[in-house]
Structure 1
Amino acid sequence: MEKAIARIKVAMQKREKIVIFADYDVDGTTACSIMMGTLKRLQNHYKFELDLIIPDRFKEGYGLNDKNIVRLVAMNPNLVITVDCGISSASQIASLKEKGIDVIVTDHHEPKAELPTDALAIVHPKFCNYPFVSLSGAGVAYQLCKGLWEVHGKKAPEWVERDMLDLVALGAICDIMDIKEADNRIYVKEGLKLIEQGRRFGLATMGSRLNWKKVTPYTLGFQIGPRINAAGRIEEADCVVEMLLSNDADIVNSILNVLEERNQERKKIQEYIVKKGLEQIAKSNYKYLSVVIGDEGFHEGVVGIAASKMIDVFYRPTFVLARNEEGMLKGSARSIEGVNLFEVMQMHEKVLR
Structure 2
Amino acid sequence: MALPLSLTGKYWQLVDSAPLAGTPAQIAHAIATARGIDLRSNPLPATDLLSDTARAAQRIRSALARNEHIGIFGDYDCDGVTATALLVRFFRRNNVEPFVRLPHRVRDGYGLKRHIIKEMRTQGVTLLITVDAGISSIEEVHEAQESGMDTIITDHHHPHAQIPPAYAIVHPALSPRYPRPHPSGSGVAFALVRALEGTEEWEGHKEDLCLAMLGTVADVMELTGANRTLVTAGLTALKHLPAHAPIAKLCAQAGVDRSRVTARDIAYRIAPRINAAGRLEDPGIALQALLSGESALAHLGVLNAQRQDLTASLLADVLSSLHLSTENSPQNVPPLLAAASVQYPEGIVGLLAGKLTEGYGKPSIVACIRGDACIASLRSVPAYHVTEGLERVEGLLTTYGGHAQAAGCTFPTKNYPELIARLLDDISARVRPQDLVPTLPVDAVLSPQNITRELAQALGHLEPFGEGNPEPLFFLPNVSLSAVRTVGNDSRHLQCSIGTTKAVGFQHGHLRSRLNEPLDLLCRIGLNRWNGRTDVQLFIEDMRHTECSKRNAASEMQNAQRILHS
TM-score (norm 2): 0.57
What corresponds to 1:193 in structure 2? Answer: 236
1:230-249 equivalence runs, <5 A:
230-246=276-292
Give the secondary structure class of the aligned counterpart of 2:287.
helix
Note if 1:338 corresponds to 2:379: no
8 Å Cα contact 2:206/2:238 also seen in 1: no
- SS of the equivalent of 1:164 reads helix
2:73 is matched with which residue? 21
Answer whether contact 2:254 2:270 (CA < 8 A) is retained. no
- Residue 81 of structure 1: SS of its match in structure 2? strand
Hey, what's the Cα distance between the residues in 1 that align with 2:116 and 2:305? Answer: 28
Cα distance in 2 for partners of 1:209, 1:78 equals 39
Asked whether the equivalents of residues 273 and 303 of structure 1 are also in contact (C-alpha less than 8 Å), the reply is no
Q: Is it true that 1:329 corresponds to 2:370 in the alignment?
A: no
**Paired residues of 1:291 and 1:319 also in contact (CA < 8 A):** yes
How many residues in Structure 1 have an aligned counterpart in Structure 2? Answer: 336
Aligned partner of 1:320 in structure 2 is 366
Of structures 1 and 2, the larger Rg is shown by: 2
Residue aligning to 2:44: none
* TM alignment of 1:198-347, pairs within 5 A: 198-199=241-242, 201-213=245-257, 214-246=260-292, 252-282=293-323, 287-324=333-370, 326-347=371-392
Deviates more, 1:339-348 or 1:60-69: 60-69
C-alpha separation between the residues in 2 aligned to 1:294 and 1:241?
30
1:352 maps to 397
Whole-Å Cα distance in 1 between the matches of residues 320 and 213 of structure 2? 38
C-alpha RMSD over aligned residues: 1.8
Tell me how far 1:226 sits from its aligned partner.
Answer: 0.3
Q: Secondary structure at the match of 2:376?
A: strand
| Alpha carbons of structure 1 residues 66 and 273: separation in structure 2 relative to 1, 3 Å | farther
Q: How big is each residue's C-alpha offset from its partner over 1:54-94, in whole Å with a ceiling of 9 and x where there is no partner?
A: 01110001111234333333322100000001011111100
In structure 2, distance between residues paired with 1:267 and 1:210: 14
CA offsets 1:193-237 (integer angstroms, 9 cap, x no match): 222223471121122233323210011101110000000000111
Between Structure 1 and Structure 2, the one with more strand by share is 2
Deviations 1:257-279 (A, max 9, x none): 11111111111221122111111
Q: Distance in 1 between matches of 2:54 and 2:338?
A: 45
1:94 is aligned to: 142
Counterpart of 2:108? Answer: 60
Deviations 1:323-351 (A, max 9, x none): 12x43111101011110010011111011
- Give the conservation status (yes or no) of the 8 Å contact 2:159–2:173: no
Q: Could you tell me how far 1:159 is from its partner in structure 2?
A: 2.6
Q: Hey, what's the Cα distance between the residues in 2 that align with 1:73 and 1:232?
A: 25
Cα distance in 2 for partners of 1:71, 1:273 equals 36
Q: 1:158 aligns with which of 179, 188, 202?
A: 202
Bigger shift: 286-295 or 18-27? 286-295
- 2:61, 2:294 → 1: CA distance? 35
> SS of the residue aligned with 2:268?
helix
- Report percent identity of matched pairs: 32
- The residue correspondences of 1:80-159 to structure 2 (distance < 5 A) are 80-116=128-164, 118-128=165-175, 129-150=177-198, 155-159=199-203
- Tell me the amino acid that sits aligned with residue 223 of structure 1: R
* Worse-superposed segment, 56-65 or 268-277: 268-277
1:254-310: CA deviation from partner (whole Å, max 9, x where unpaired):
111111111111112211221111111118x97421010111111111100111111
Q: What letter corresponds to residue 73 of structure 1 in structure 2? A: R
* Contact preservation (8 Å) 1:54, 1:237: yes
CA offset at residue 189 of structure 1? 1.1
* Structure-2 change in CA distance of 1:115 and 1:217 (3 Å): same
* Structure-1-length-normalised TM-score: 0.91
SS in 1 for 2:98: strand
Task: In structure 1, list runs of 5 or more residues that go unmatched.
Answer: 247-251
SS in 2 for 1:60: coil
Q: Is this contact kept in 1: 2:129–2:152, CA < 8 A?
A: yes
Gaps of 5+ in 2: 1-52, 399-566
**Following TM superposition, by how much is the alpha carbon of 1:133 offset from its aligned partner in structure 2, in angstroms?**
4.3
Contact 2:361–2:381 (CA<8 Å) still a contact in 1?
yes
CA contact (8 A) 1:145 1:160 kept: no
Is 1:5–2:57 an aligned residue pair? yes
Give the whole-Å Cα distance in 2 for the aligned partners of 1:312 and 1:149.
41
